[in-house]
């Protein structure tokens, strides 16, 4: 049984494991004061060509989102997010648990635009309602779409005009930046959003996300928030070593590119067999629409999520590739898909 369920089924890139072993008995300061964390932060700043950002390493995406968003907002302020956004659907009410309402907006492609946000602002008019303050987006989104530079610029301009914060979830940022459809550079992002994170968990690390804060007013006392939310690790070196390895050369992007390349093989195989897709997804997640009988046959040897019922005999499934996905397994899946799919219209 080979898994296309997610991009964190494997452990970590061997180079990271080796670095953890080699540094194991080296004594280092705690809570992010170690050499590796400080070097990793310096390397990421260099990659972004921006020495003025603040960078904090946290263990996971949900922890990063709830720590950052709750720190950035006052008690009566709320978050605007797509209905497919991770904080809307897969974080067990973590943001609400910090006292901040998530205002969910119906989107077609998982992406927010100024029109979506304006509609929310127009319906929240006074102190009897929560005050929309932060716009939450993901790149790539939870359904695999990505933001183009013009889209992000439009969002940024709208947020500046209306005194809103713009925050990007980057759990799969590597995949987005390596997409054939992408026109953003890593160095563009700090100028276009107030804060974002670079996902490591889903791109070769055991655990870890690098939160980048570019807006000056959000930087103050952030380590206090980290400590209060249980995110300030005594052995912060464990995160620092991983991001040092990912960013001391091009490993981070190389792993993301491999993930996208494997998804492209799956995508091309579906297209060649004349299957359609639920959504345009140029990243490492694809959502082909398949006959239910074909899905049942594929499930005998492969695990994946059934995403959405399309009609009485067809469903959209989600296939996710990772930094460690084996090309031979991908091609075997395509072969099975095409072999069984010959009778897809019967």
**Does one domain contain both 167 and 102?**
yes
Q: What is the pLDDT of residue 340?
A: 86
Bridge-partner residues for 286, per DSSP? 319
CA 45 to chain centre: 20
Those residues whose C-beta lies under 8 Å from the C-beta of residue 313, and which sit 6 or more positions away, are: 291, 292, 293
Whether 177 and 289 share a structural domain: no
* The domain boundary residue, chosen from 218, 234, 249: 249
pLDDT tens-place values along the chain, 346 residues long: 999 999 999 999 999 999 999 999 999 999 999 999 999 999 999 999 999 999 999 999 999 999 999 999 999 999 999 999 999 999 999 999 999 999 999 999 999 999 999 999 999 999 999 999 999 999 999 999 999 999 999 999 999 999 999 999 999 999 999 999 999 999 999 999 999 999 999 999 999 999 999 999 999 999 999 999 999 999 999 999 999 999 999 999 999 999 999 999 999 999 999 999 999 999 999 999 999 999 999 999 999 999 999 999 999 999 999 999 999 999 999 999 999 876 554 4
Residue 199 Ramachandran class (φ > 0 left, ψ -120 to 50 alpha, else beta): beta
Please answer whether residues 213 and 57 qualify as being in contact, where contact means their C-beta atoms are separated by less than 8 angstroms: no
Domain that holds residue 303: 2-6+252-343
Domain finish residue from 215, 249, 283: 249
Q: Which of 249, 279, 309 is the last residue before a domain boundary?
A: 249
Regarding whether 34 and 162 lie in a shared domain, the answer is: yes
Are 198 and 277 part of one and the same domain? no
SS3 45: helix
Q: Tokens in use for 196?
A: 């974002």
Paired tokens of 258: 């491999």
- Give the domain CATH number at 46: 3.40.640.10
């Amino acid at each position: 049984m080979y898994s296309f369920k997610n991009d964190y089924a494997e452990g970590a890139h061997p180079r990271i494991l080796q670095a953890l072993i080699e540094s194991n008995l080296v004594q280092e300061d705690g809570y992010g004061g170690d050499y590796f964390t400080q070097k990793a932060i310096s390397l990421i700043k260099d990659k972004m060509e921006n020495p003025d950002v603040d960078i904090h390493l946290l263990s996971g995406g949900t922890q990063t989102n709830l720590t950052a968003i709750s720190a950035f907002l006052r008690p009566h302020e709320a978050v605007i997010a797509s209905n497919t956004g991770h904080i809307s659907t897969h974080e067990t009410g973590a943001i609400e648990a910090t006292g901040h309402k998530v205002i969910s907006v119906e989107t077609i492609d998982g992406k927010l635009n100024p029109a979506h946000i304006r509609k929310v602002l127009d319906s929240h008019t006074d102190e009897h309602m929560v005050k929309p303050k932060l716009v939450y987006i993901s790149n790539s989104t939870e359904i695999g779409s990505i933001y183009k530079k013009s889209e992000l610029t439009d969002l940024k301009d709208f947020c500046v005009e209306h005194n809103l914060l713009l925050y990007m979830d980057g759990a799969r940022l590597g995949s987005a930046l390596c997409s054939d459809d992408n026109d953003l550079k890593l160095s563009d992002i700090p100028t276009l959003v107030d804060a974002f994170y670079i996902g490591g968990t889903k791109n070769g690390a055991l655990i870890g996300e690098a939160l980048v804060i570019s807006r000056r007013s959000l930087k103050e006392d952030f380590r206090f928030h980290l400590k209060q939310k249980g995110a300030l690790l005594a052995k912060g070196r464990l995160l620092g070593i991983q991001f040092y390895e990912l960013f001391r050369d091009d490993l981070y992007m190389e792993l993301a590119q491999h993930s996208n390349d494997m998804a492209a093989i799956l995508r091309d195989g579906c297209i060649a067999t004349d299957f359609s897709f639920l959504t345009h997804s140029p990243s490492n997640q694809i959502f082909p629409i398949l006959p239910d009988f074909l899905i049942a046959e594929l499930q005998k040897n492969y695990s994946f999520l059934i995403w959405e019922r399309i009609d009485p005999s067809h469903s959209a499934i989600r296939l996710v590739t990772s930094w460690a996905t084996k090309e031979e397994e991908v091609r075997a899946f395509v072969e099975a898909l095409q072999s069984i799919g010959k009778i897809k219209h019967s």
